[in-house]
Amino acid sequence: MSDAPRYVVSTSTDATSVLRRLARGGWQTREGFALTEVAWDMAEARLVLFGRVPDAETAHLAVLAAARGTGIVAITDPAGDLGRALVADLGGSARCTRTRTPNPNRTATTWSAS
């Protein structure tokens, strides 16, 4: 099981904060959830994909990328229908915990390997 970081955040500001921290920790970041790499297991690459998740197709790409071992920083409302579906799909293989962001009006959902 991958220990890649997985986040669902409400805003691009929250995503930027998370991505900076991950980059300082040695993770490579790349916008978009489509993977073109031939290798299935991407865990060794220490790659985090990020971007907005406006629809179910993009959510599907994010879940598939996570299944291949990449980290995910998805920007969507975690309390909306799409956000809850994304949390459920990603949460099936990892423990899901909710944490407060610096802005008390926003909540970030974070996954970590069980």
Is residue 15 in some structural domain?
Answer: yes
pLDDT digits (tens, 9 = 90+) for 69-112: 999 999 998 888 998 899 889 875 433 334 444 455 555 555 44
Is residue 42 in some structural domain?
Answer: yes
Domain count, the chain: 1
Is residue 1 in some structural domain?
Answer: no
Is residue 76 in some structural domain?
Answer: yes
| Rounded CA separation 82/42 (Å) | 25
- Please count the other Cβ atoms lying within 10 Å of the Cβ belonging to residue 2: 18
Residue 76 near residue 52 (C-beta atoms within 8 A): yes
pLDDT digits (tens, 9 = 90+) for 46-68: 999 999 999 999 999 999 999 99
| Rounded CA separation 32/48 (Å) | 10
Output DSSP code: residue 60.
H
User: What is the domain extent for residue 84?
Assistant: 6-112
Amino acid letter, 47: L
Amino acid letter, 71: G
